[in-house]
Chains A and B, each alone.
Chain A
Amino acid sequence: MSDFLFELGLEEIPARMIAGAEAELGRRVTDLLTREHLLAAGATVTTFSTPRRLAVLAERVLARQADTEEQLTGPSWKVAFKDDAPTAAAQAFAKKAGVDVSALQKVTTPKGEYVGATVKRAGRSASEILAADLPKEVLALYWAKNMYWRAGKPERFVRPVRWVVALLDSEVVPLEIAGIAAGRESRGHRILHGDAPVPVFQACDYSKSLLGAAVVVSVADRRQIIRKALDAVTRTVAGARWREDEPLVETVVHLTEWPSVILGNFDREFLALPEEVLVTVMRDHQKYFAVEDANGKLAPHFLAVLNTRADEEGAAIIRHGNQKVLVARFKDARFFWDFDQKTPLKDRVEGLKHVTFQKELGSYHWKTEQNLHVAQALAKLLKAKGTKFDEAALFQAVELAKTDLTTELVKEFTELQGIIGGLYARAQHLGERTALAIYEQYVPASMEDNIPVCVEGQLLGLGDRIQTIAAMFGIGMEPTGSKDPFALRRAANAVVKILAESELPLNLSEVVEAVAEIDGKTVDSVRAFLRERLNFYLKDVRGFAYDVVNAVLAAGADDVRDAIARAEGLAAARGSEDFVAVSAAFKRIKNILRQAEEKGFALGNSGNAKAVEAVGLRDAAARVAPEFEKLRGQRNYAEALALIATLRPTVDTFFDKVMVLDPDETLRGAHLALIHEVLSNFSTIADFSEIVTS
C-alpha cells in the first residue's frame, strides 16, 4: 500500500478559479484510481491548493493492479477447426485474444461447441498507469480562461506550468506535463523561502515539507489562520469588530501561501463619505476588510491580509504603503463626489440620451420614458385598489433612477449604481422616499437579498425590470438554454420575489400589462416566462415539492402570494392519508372523464343518480362545498383542504360500489356529471391529480 502525491506547480492562478480546479483535480485523480482498481479499501484522497499549486494526496493506493483472468468465447468449434487443424477463423480469434492457437480450448454451451480462450492479464503498476493517464486528466481541467505559453502552442492552460511533483511513497512517478518531467522538488514561498527547490522525500510528508518552506498548502488551514488573525488584530482596537465578508475571506485565502494580517488606519475625515463608497473601495478595489465600532458604525481602520510574515519594521512599511494607497483612493472618491454635486441629478436626465441602454431599443433616456409609462400604469392600478403610496415621489424616483450612470463616481464604482443615485438624491434633498426608492432599485440582486423596504422602491424595481424583460422579448432577446446575456431570468426572479414578499396587490398579468407598446404574442411569452420563474421560486426558494408546485400552478399562477398560500396549505394537507387517497381519487376522476370524452359519452344530470353511494357522494359534496368555499375565500387553504379529505370515505365507497360508466345512458350521464362537479368544485386550490401519490 502506498501514498500517491501529485503537485502541479504553476504561476499564480487567478484566485476565483482555484477552488473549482482543486476539487476537479481531486475528482479526476479519484476517478482514475478507481477506474484502474488502484484504490485499496479505506483509501482517502485529500486535495490542496495555493495560488502557485494544485495538489492531491491519495492514501492507500495499491502498488499494482491485481492480475486478472478473462474467459473469451470465439467462433464455433466446427468453423475454427477442420480435422483438428486450426482454420483462419481460429488464427484470427487467437490473435485477437492475444494467445497462441494451441492454447484455444473447446467450450461447450447449450447452443453448441465453441472455441474459448483464457486471457490472463497481468496487473499494471500504479506508477505505469499514472504516468500514462494522469497528464491527460490534468490538462483536461476546466479553466474559465486559458493561455498558451510554449512555442508551437502544444497546450493551453490557465497559467504556465513550472514544476511537477509526482511520488508514490518515495519513488518519483515518471510522468510529464506540458514538457516538464515530474520530480520530487517543489517550490516554497516566493519571498520567505526564495527560489531554492523544496524536496519532498515521502509523499505523506507533503504538507510538512511545504510548511518548512513557508507555504500552508491546506485551504482550510489558511482560512482558519486568516480568520483567527483577523480576530486577533481587531482585538487591538477597543470594541471593534471586523465586517464578516465570506467571499472576501475566500478570495484572500486563494491569494496567499503564508497569510498574516495587519491593521491600518485612515483619517476620520473620510468617514464623511458614504459608507457604501468606503466599503466598496476597501473590499472591491483593495481587498481589505472593513472594521466597525461597537455600534456597528464604520471605524477608521481596515484589515489587509498579507502574503508574507513581516517583522515589525516590515509591518510598519507595509502598513504605511497600504494606508497611502487607500487614502489616495478615498481622495479620488471624494473628488468625484464633490465634482458630481455640481450637476444635480435633475440636470442629468438630458444626458441619458448619450448612454445606450440597448442598441436596438434606445438610450437610458428612452428607458426612463418607458419606465415612467409603466410606473403610471401601476400607480393607477394601485390607487384603484386603495394602496397608499407617495405618487409624486415614485414618479420623481423613476425619472431620476438612471441619472447616476452619468456621474463620475458610478463610472469609477459601477457596482454602486443605484446606491450612488440614492445617496445623491438624499444629499440634494429630493425627499427621503425618492432617495430610498432610487437607492433600492436594484435589490433584490439575488434570491438571498431582501426586497426594497419602501413601496415606491418596490414599484420602481418592478416596473424597471418588467419593462426590460418585455422590451428584450419584443426584439427576440429572450434567454435560451444556459444563455441569458441580459440577466433576464434574474430580473424576472426579482419581479416574482417582490410580488411574493411585498404587500403590493398586483398579480403577474397586471404587471405585464402595465408595459405599453408590446404585442399580444410578447405578452403571452413574458407571462409564460414569469410563470416559469414563479415555479422556480416556489420550488427552489420556498422549497415546495415539485408536484405540490405543479398542482398549485395548474389551478392558477397569476396571484403570486395566493399561489404561495395554496402551496403551503397543500404541503400541509399532503401529509394526511385521507388527503392522499382523495388525490388519487381525483386523478381517477380525471382519467374517467377523459375516457368518457373520447368515447363520446355526454355529461348528464347528477340528480338522476340512483345508487345509494352516488347519492351519498352528491350529498356529501353539496354539504362540504359551501364551507369549502368560505374557507377558500378566507385563504384558509389548510383547513379547506382538510375538509376535502373528509370526503374520502364517501368517495371510496362510490368507486367501490358504483359502476361509473353504467351501460344505462341516463345513469352514466348522472355519474359523469357528479364526478365532474366534484372535480371542478374542489380543484380551485390545486389540481390534485398532479400530486404524486405513491
Chain B
Amino acid sequence: MQSFWAERGCVLQQPYDVEVGAGTMAPETFLRVLGPRPYKVGYAQPSRRPADGRYGENPNRLFKHTQFQLILKPPPVNVQELYLESLEAMGIDLRQHDLKFEEDNWEWPAGGAWGVGWQVMLDGLEITQFTYFQQCGGLDLDPICAELTYGMERIAAFLQDVDSIYDIVWARDPETGAPITYGDVRLAEELQFSVYNFEYADVPRLWEHFNSFEAEAKSLLEQASAVLNDEKASPAEKRRFPLLATYELALKCSNLFNLLDARGAISVTERVGIIGRIRNLAVGVAKAYASQQAAGSQ
C-alpha cells in the first residue's frame, strides 16, 4: 500500500507520535488540508479509542487500531479508480468480490471538520472510509481534499481469512515458518490498556492534566493571535510561532477527554461543553495556522 501511493507521488510519513483517536487528527491531515497548497501524503496511524477497548476478548474490536490514512489535495479526477487500484495492489482481485460505495458522511465535531463520502463495502465488510473533506477546523476548504482511511486490521484479517484480528500473521520465521501473530504482539497491550482506561485511570488527575494542557494551549493561542495580527511583526516572526506545538496540546486534551469518557466520568450534559472546549482549541489552532501560512506565503 505504501509503495503503491509513494509511486503516485505521495509523501510517506511516519505515524504521528502523540495519542490521537484517528488519522485525521494527525497534523499531516488536520493542518495540511488547510489553505491552498497541494499536498499528497500517506501514513499508518495507530488510533486510540479508549471506550472501544474490550480487554482483548472481542475478536473485532480494539482499543488501538491502525488506520492507513491518505490525503490527496486536491483530489485527482480518477481518485476512485486509483483507490480501486490500491486494493488490487494489496492482492484483492476485485472480479472475485462484491464492492459497493455506500453513503457515509464523516464528521469530527470537536475538530470542526466534516465531509461527505462513502463507506466502501467489500463482501459486506466496511474496509475504507472515503471522504471528500469540506470543512476542517471550522474553515471551508479550497481546494477540498480526498481522505481515504483504510482499516488495516480488518483488511489484513480479510486478506488472511482469519476470524479474529489476533490471529493475523504479522511475520513468519523464514526457516521454521513459525508465525508471529497480531495477538503475540498486541494482546497484552489491549488487555492492560483496557484495564487502565476502564479501571485505573485516575479521574481527578486526568481532569488536572486536561485543564493544564488546555490552559497552556489557550495561552499560546492568545499569544499567537497577538503575533499574527500584529502588522509590525515580520513574516519571519509570524512563521516561527509554535502553532504545531499548540496543536499537540489540543490533541492531548482530546485524548484525555476520550479517557475520561471511557471511565464514565463525563455526563451527557457535560459532554457538549467539553467537546466545545476542545473545539475551541482545535478551531483556534486551525485559524491561526491558516493565517500563519498566508503570512508565510507573502
Chain A residues near B (Cβ < 8 Å):
11-12, 14-16, 51, 145, 147-153, 159-160, 162, 190-192, 195, 255-256, 286, 288, 304, 306-308, 310, 313-314, 317-318, 320-322, 324-326, 328, 331-332, 335, 354-356, 359
Contact = CB atoms under 8 A, between A and B. Distances in A.
Contacts of A335: 58
Contacts of A322: 98, 123-124
Contacts of B95: 191-192, 308, 314
Interface string B150-169: 00000000100101000000
Contacts of A11: 80, 101
Interface in B83-102: 84, 94-102
B87 to A, nearest CB: 11
Contacts, number: 104
Contacts of B122: 321
Given A12-B100, A15-B103, 10 more contacts: A12-B103, A148-B144, A149-B144, A153-B142, A160-B132, A318-B96, A322-B98, A322-B124, A325-B123, A328-B60
B134 A147 contact: yes
Nearest to B264: A354
A153 B132 CA distance: 13
B142 A149 contact: no
5 tightest A-B CB contacts, nearest first = A321-B123, A14-B103, A12-B101, A322-B124, A151-B143
Nearest to A52: B101
B98 A306 contact: yes
Contacts of B142: 148, 151-153
Interface string B34-78: 000000000000000000000000111100000000000011010
29 contacts: A12-B100, A12-B118, A15-B103, A145-B116, A149-B144, A150-B143, A151-B143, A153-B140, A159-B116, A190-B99, A191-B95, A192-B95, A256-B100, A304-B124, A307-B99, A308-B95, A308-B97, A317-B97, A318-B123, A321-B122, A321-B123, A321-B158, A328-B60, A328-B163, A331-B60, A332-B58, A332-B60, A354-B267, A356-B269
A320 B162 CA distance: 11
Given A321-B158, A354-B267, A314 B96 contact: yes
Interface residues of B, number: 40
A677 to B, nearest CB: 62
Given A314-B95, A328-B60, A354-B268, A307 B100 contact: yes
A147 B102 contact: no
Nearest to A251: B102
A16 B118 CA distance: 13
Contacts of B124: 286, 288, 304, 321-322, 325-326
Interface string B9-51: 0000000000000000000000000000000000000000000
B293 interface: no
B105 interface: yes
A326 B60 CA distance: 12
Contacts of A149: 75, 132, 144
B81 interface: yes
A331 B163 CA distance: 11
B125 interface: yes
A253 to B, nearest CB: 13
Contacts of B99: 190-191, 307-308
A359 B271 CA distance: 12
A228 B295 CA distance: 63
Interface string B101-145: 111010000000001101000111100000010100000101110
Nearest to B141: A148
B98 A318 contact: yes
Contacts of A307: 98-100
Nearest to B58: A335
Contacts of B269: 356, 359
A531 to B, nearest CB: 35
A286 B105 CA distance: 17
B84 A356 contact: no
A149 B116 CA distance: 11
B97 A195 contact: no
Contacts of B125: 321, 324-325
A625 B103 CA distance: 66
A320 B94 CA distance: 15
A240 B37 CA distance: 59
Contacts of B158: 321
Contact of B102 (A15, A306, A313, A355): A15
A407 to B, nearest CB: 15
A147 B116 contact: yes
Contacts of B94: 191
A185 to B, nearest CB: 14
Nearest to B271: A356
B63 to A, nearest CB: 16
A286 B61 CA distance: 18
B96 A331 contact: no
A255 B74 contact: no
Nearest to A162: B77
A148 B84 contact: no
A322 B158 CA distance: 11
B84 A190 contact: yes
A371 B103 CA distance: 38
Contacts of B100: 12, 255-256, 307
A328 B59 CA distance: 8
A21 to B, nearest CB: 13
A310 B268 contact: no
Contacts of B103: 12, 14-16
Nearest to B123: A321
A15 B118 CA distance: 11
A317 B96 contact: yes
Given A147-B132, A148-B144, A152-B142, A318 B97 contact: yes
Contacts of B105: 145
B75 A313 contact: no
A159 B95 CA distance: 25
A307 to B, nearest CB: 5
A331 B123 contact: no
A16 B105 CA distance: 13
Contacts of A331: 59-60
B73 to A, nearest CB: 10
A322 B124 CA distance: 5
Contacts of B81: 195
B121 to A, nearest CB: 9
A16 B290 CA distance: 36
Q: Among the interface residues B75, B105, B123, B132, which one has the most CB atoms of the partner chain A within 10 A? A: B123
A195 B115 CA distance: 26
B268 A151 contact: no
Interface core residue of A149, A151, A195, A318 (most chain B CB under 10 Å): A149
A217 to B, nearest CB: 18
Given A149-B132, A304-B124, A321 B97 contact: yes
- For A16, A354, A355, the residue with the greatest tally of chain B CB atoms inside 10 Å of its CB is A354
A686 B75 CA distance: 67
Contacts of B97: 308, 314, 317-318, 321
Contacts of A255: 100, 102
A321 B267 CA distance: 39
Nearest to A308: B98
B145 to A, nearest CB: 10
A403 to B, nearest CB: 15
A148 B134 contact: yes
A260 to B, nearest CB: 9
A382 B17 CA distance: 66
A187 B124 CA distance: 25
Nearest to A192: B95
A324 B167 CA distance: 15
A255 B100 CA distance: 7
B203 to A, nearest CB: 15
B29 to A, nearest CB: 18
A469 B269 CA distance: 22
A282 to B, nearest CB: 10
A316 B209 CA distance: 53
Nearest to B104: A14
